[in-house]
Amino acid sequence: MAQYARGSAVAVIRLRNPPVNALSRAVLQALEDGLKKADADPSVKAVMICGENGKFSAGADIRGFSAPKRLGGALGPVVSLIESSEKPVVAAIEGVALGGGLEVALGCHYRIAHVKARMGLPEVTLGLLPGAEGTQRLPRLIGVPAALDMITTGKHIPATEALKLGLVDEIVEENTIEAAIRLANKVIGQPLGPRRLSLKPVPKVPNMEAFLDEALAKVKRQARGCLAPELCFQAVRAATQSPFADGVRRERELFQVLLSSGQAQALQYAFFAERAVRRWATPGGASWSSAAPQPVRRAAVIGLGTMGRGIVTSLVKANIPLVALEQDLENLNKGRKAVMFLLEREAMKMEGGAQVLDFHNPARLQFTVDFDLLRDVDLVIEAVFENMALKKEIFHKLSKICKPGALLCTNTSALNIDEIASATNRPQQVIGTHFFSPAHVMRLLEIIYGRHTSPTAIATAMQLATALKKVGVVVGNCFGFVGNRMMFPYVQQAVFLLEEGSRPDAVDQALEDFGFKIGPFRMSDLAGLDVGWRSRKDQGLTGPSLPAGTPARQRRGQRYSPLPDLLCEHGRFGQKTGKGWYLYEKAGGRTATPDPWLLNFLSQYRDTHGIQTRFIDQEEILERCLFSLINEGFAILAEGIASGPEHLDVIYINGYGWPKHRGGPMFYASTVGLPRVLAKLQKYSEAHPDVPGLQPSAFLKKLAAVGNPPLKEWMSYLSQQSSKL
């Protein structure tokens, strides 16, 4: 609702719809009623619009987009009504003014903001564009380059930047409402024409067409198949080409195109999925609603390799004092240098920089090789080599040294949390915190509870994720957890496709065209082929422990491809050695080019093993890689390793570069239709009966058999025990 009140000459309209004053139909109606009341009351000389509870408005009610009588064009006319008011209207922006919320403020004649407020037009992130005339007003106010940047990226900008851009007229450090009323009183009687943005011309940019062409190329490059950024661009371009009313018409047309696109639904699903995973629960009955986190005043990170460096950086950025520990001075110095380099770079991006991060202060960041310094920390994150014996040794030591309440976390990417916990005297405080590389950049934190992990430990890890500005997703313990477990069959299929006749660049291209940031072979070259090789040797799948006489392309009765092992045996570890699935300009180089050596090697390999080369089209590449990954997802859900499909989707979007506009693998499966996914898996598993990853999971079969229910109902089809999650 919006509350109307009149004090002296200024009427106050307060948007009220907790928690973020979203502009529901009821709020819009009340806003319109308030404006009409103020207009009709001769004693009212000006109007001030603000939001309840220190927030202006987070925009249209996102849930309303899928409602049968959706909000759609309802907001634009209200914004026009505000602008056409004959009495000055001032927006008092506190907290957030986002999307439709900012569009309301753009309809006002004056905008005043609290210094801590944030503003933005994030519709693009929901697969939409600002559909209440925002694409036409904003460029008129702050110019085309700045407006394009805000509208096509959806970024939130702080009030200080908004002031510099001219988006707000004034910022205040306190009492925004009083300041807005003062401003409203001051401007009573002043001409409103120059304050009506729809009447202003769009400021000229030298060489506008060339500028726009370049901007469009950039938008397309970054969108990677997502429609909304390009349509946002087109709406702003219309503002540069047509009068306001025509621009608004174009904006509406483009909005309708996006609204009915599957991408908008996927992105809105992703928005709510990210919020849903905060409400974690375990099959044992622990949940977010009853578990309380314990404070983390001081932390420690063990191992300053690829992951430890990023984790330290992340903790420093979150203002958590910490100790960083290495095994010897040589590695410590190497790690310290790398951490300092990352922190200097981060500091350069921040206002206040190194001073705010304060990482030269040993009280905040201490480097050591001495385990004794971990005595009083509240939480330790172990990031040493992926080796069970080493991890157990470290956890045993930690449980002796650390204070009783300290939480012991491991960054293992696949190992058994229970086995690691068994080396301690406090398995209830052992938990997996699986960061993704680079750890100071990637948003995902996969949080893995073991058999004995306490609810407090889970709540503390979730709180850590929030403090690090990451998305924490709580999952159960199994080899590879959720993310990597689903990745195994995907990568396996990619390699099988090479055996059968495809090429690394063809497979990568198909998946990158689908929207992945990076295909599986480019990814493997980036991460290093030796990592998986070591793990396969540890598992006895290759190397000296492999029993003599093991067939080259079979392990434990299943199809196996030795191709990645063979590449490693040829010293091809990926980017770090300058060659892997691709060739690079030098060791450590980043420009991948198809390597004739590899293509020749593949063809010899096929000859050796009597494999007939065939052409594999894009459809088969996508189906075999994606459907096998999705199939594993259904198995994970059936086993109760994750509480729901949203968890898998949030993991894939934030940790594995899955295109967000496709909503995550499980949402994607729901859009393809489960019967179709099932039929394709059946077809491929008949052709490859020795590949278990292609055999449809029982849960997928069940869902297809009960008539392909909507994703939100899937979990209700599981047995009682799993659906308790």
Binding site for ligand CAA (CB under 6 A): 19-20, 22, 58-63, 75, 96, 98-100, 103, 122-123, 126, 128, 130-132, 275
Q: Can residue 325 be called a binding residue for ligand NAI (CB under 6 A)?
A: yes
Q: Can residue 722 be called a binding residue for ligand NAI (CB under 6 A)?
A: no
Give the one entry of ligand CAA, ligand NAI, none that residue 657 binds, where binding means its C-beta sits below a cut-off of 5 to 8 angstroms depending on kind. none
Give the one entry of ligand NAI, ligand CAA, none that residue 378 binds, where binding means its C-beta sits below a cut-off of 5 to 8 angstroms depending on kind. none
How far, CA to CA in Å, does 6 sit from each of 10, 44, 192, 197, 443? Answer: 6, 8, 21, 26, 46
What is the number of residues in the chain?
Answer: 725
Token pair 């086993």 is found at 639
Give the one entry of ligand CAA, ligand NAI, none that residue 98 binds, where binding means its C-beta sits below a cut-off of 5 to 8 angstroms depending on kind. ligand CAA
Give the one entry of ligand NAI, ligand CAA, none that residue 325 binds, where binding means its C-beta sits below a cut-off of 5 to 8 angstroms depending on kind. ligand NAI
Nearer to ligand NAI, 142 or 339 (CB): 339
Which residues are within 8 A (CB) of 208 and not within 5 positions of it... i.e. 6 or more apart? 144, 240
Give the one entry of ligand NAI, ligand CAA, none that residue 306 binds, where binding means its C-beta sits below a cut-off of 5 to 8 angstroms depending on kind. ligand NAI
Q: Can residue 302 be called a binding residue for ligand NAI (CB under 6 A)?
A: yes
Give the one entry of ligand CAA, ligand NAI, none that residue 413 binds, where binding means its C-beta sits below a cut-off of 5 to 8 angstroms depending on kind. ligand NAI
Give the one entry of ligand NAI, ligand CAA, none that residue 68 binds, where binding means its C-beta sits below a cut-off of 5 to 8 angstroms depending on kind. none
Q: Is residue 446 within a helix (H) or strand (E), and if so which, with residue range?
A: strand 444-449
Give the one entry of ligand CAA, ligand NAI, none that residue 123 binds, where binding means its C-beta sits below a cut-off of 5 to 8 angstroms depending on kind. ligand CAA
Q: Least separation, in Å, of the C-beta of 19 and ligand CAA?
A: 5
422-481 positions binding ligand NAI, by CB under 6 A: 434-437
For residues 406 and 426, what is the distance between their CA atoms, to the nearest angstrom? Answer: 9
Nearer to ligand CAA, 20 or 694 (CB): 20
DSSP letter, residue 448: E
What tokens does 3 get?
Answer: 């509350």
Question: Which residue in 406, 340, 342 sits closest to 378, CA to CA?
Answer: 406
Nearer to ligand NAI, 491 or 674 (CB): 491
Exposure of 577 in the CB half-sphere (CA atoms within 13 A):
17
Give the one entry of ligand NAI, ligand CAA, none that residue 411 binds, where binding means its C-beta sits below a cut-off of 5 to 8 angstroms depending on kind. ligand NAI
For residues 499 and 561, what is the distance between their CA atoms, to the nearest angstrom? Answer: 8
Q: Least separation, in Å, of the C-beta of 525 and ligand NAI?
A: 13
Q: Least separation, in Å, of the C-beta of 38 and ligand CAA?
A: 23
Question: Which residue in 581, 604, 606 sits closest to 505, CA to CA?
Answer: 581
Neighbour-count burial for 238-265, b at 16+ CB within 10 Å, e otherwise = bbbeeebeebbebbbebbeebbebebbb
Q: Least separation, in Å, of the C-beta of 327 and ligand NAI?
A: 4
For residues 380 and 322, what is the distance between their CA atoms, to the nearest angstrom? Answer: 9
Q: Least separation, in Å, of the C-beta of 236 and ligand CAA?
A: 14
For residue 143, report the phi and psi dihedrals to the nearest 5 degrees.
90, 160
Nearer to ligand NAI, 437 or 723 (CB): 437
Instruction: Answer yes or no: 103 catalytic.
Output: yes
Q: Can residue 368 be called a binding residue for ligand NAI (CB under 6 A)?
A: no
| 375-404 footprint of ligand NAI as x/- string (CB under 6 A) | --------xxxx---x---x----------
Q: Least separation, in Å, of the C-beta of 352 and ligand CAA?
A: 23
Neighbour-count burial for 493-506, b at 16+ CB within 10 Å, e otherwise = bbbbbbbbbbbbbb
Question: H helices within 224-287, ranges in order?
Answer: 227-241, 244-259, 262-276
Which residues are within 8 A (CB) of 681 and not within 5 positions of it... i.e. 6 or more apart? 627, 628, 631, 694, 695, 696, 700
For residues 324 and 381, what is the distance between their CA atoms, to the nearest angstrom? Answer: 10
231-250 positions binding ligand NAI, by CB under 6 A: none
Q: Which of 94, 326, 508, 649 binds ligand NAI (CB under 6 A)?
A: 326
- Number of residues near ligand NAI (by CB under 6 A): 26
Nearer to ligand CAA, 34 or 122 (CB): 122
Cα four-point dihedral sign 173, 176, 181, 183: positive
Q: Can residue 411 be called a binding residue for ligand NAI (CB under 6 A)?
A: yes
Of 83, 94, 123, 346, which one is the catalytic site residue?
A: 123
Nearer to ligand CAA, 58 or 379 (CB): 58
166-225 positions binding ligand NAI, by CB under 6 A: none
Instruction: Answer yes or no: 123 catalytic.
Output: yes
Q: Can residue 304 be called a binding residue for ligand NAI (CB under 6 A)?
A: yes
Nearer to ligand NAI, 346 or 530 (CB): 530
Nearer to ligand NAI, 437 or 695 (CB): 437
How far, CA to CA in Å, does 234 sit from each of 129, 144, 255? Answer: 10, 12, 11
For residues 628 and 229, what is the distance between their CA atoms, to the nearest angstrom? Answer: 31
Give the one entry of ligand CAA, ligand NAI, none that residue 304 binds, where binding means its C-beta sits below a cut-off of 5 to 8 angstroms depending on kind. ligand NAI
DSSP letter, residue 4: E
Nearer to ligand CAA, 60 or 407 (CB): 60
**Sole window of 7-15, 121-129, 299-307, 649-657 interacting with ligand NAI (rule: CB under 6 A):** 299-307
Question: Which residue in 133, 172, 150 sits closest to 50, CA to CA?
Answer: 172
Nearer to ligand NAI, 80 or 422 (CB): 422
Give the one entry of ligand CAA, ligand NAI, none that residue 307 binds, where binding means its C-beta sits below a cut-off of 5 to 8 angstroms depending on kind. ligand NAI
Q: Least separation, in Å, of the C-beta of 439 and ligand NAI?
A: 8
Hey, what amino acid is at 565? D
Which residues, listed in sequence order, are joined to residue 365 by a DSSP beta bridge? 322
For residues 165 and 161, what is the distance between their CA atoms, to the nearest angstrom? Answer: 6
461 and 432 Cβ atoms separated by less than 8 Å: no
Of 52, 83, 94, 103, which one is the catalytic site residue?
A: 103
Q: Which of 20, 98, 238, 307 binds ligand NAI (CB under 6 A)?
A: 307
503-562 positions binding ligand NAI, by CB under 6 A: 527
Which residues are within 8 A (CB) of 703 and not within 5 positions of it... i.e. 6 or more apart? 634, 674, 709, 714, 717
Q: Which of 306, 456, 618, 695 binds ligand NAI (CB under 6 A)?
A: 306
Q: Can residue 493 be called a binding residue for ligand NAI (CB under 6 A)?
A: no
Residue 222 CA, chain-centre distance (Å), reads 15
- 144: three-class secondary structure by DSSP: helix
For residues 89 and 87, what is the distance between their CA atoms, to the nearest angstrom? Answer: 6
Residue facing ligand NAI at closest CB distance:
305
Give the one entry of ligand CAA, ligand NAI, none that residue 131 binds, where binding means its C-beta sits below a cut-off of 5 to 8 angstroms depending on kind. ligand CAA
Question: Which residue in 513, 460, 482 sits closest to 642, CA to CA?
Answer: 482
DSSP result, 405-421: T-EEEE--SSS-HHHHH
Q: Least separation, in Å, of the C-beta of 71 and ligand CAA?
A: 7
454 and 428 Cβ atoms separated by less than 8 Å: yes
Q: Which of 308, 476, 640, 659 binds ligand NAI (CB under 6 A)?
A: 308
Cα four-point dihedral sign 695, 699, 702, 706: negative
Catalytic site positions: 103, 123
Residues that bind ligand NAI (CB under 6 A): 302-308, 325-327, 331, 335, 383-386, 390, 394, 411-413, 434-437, 527
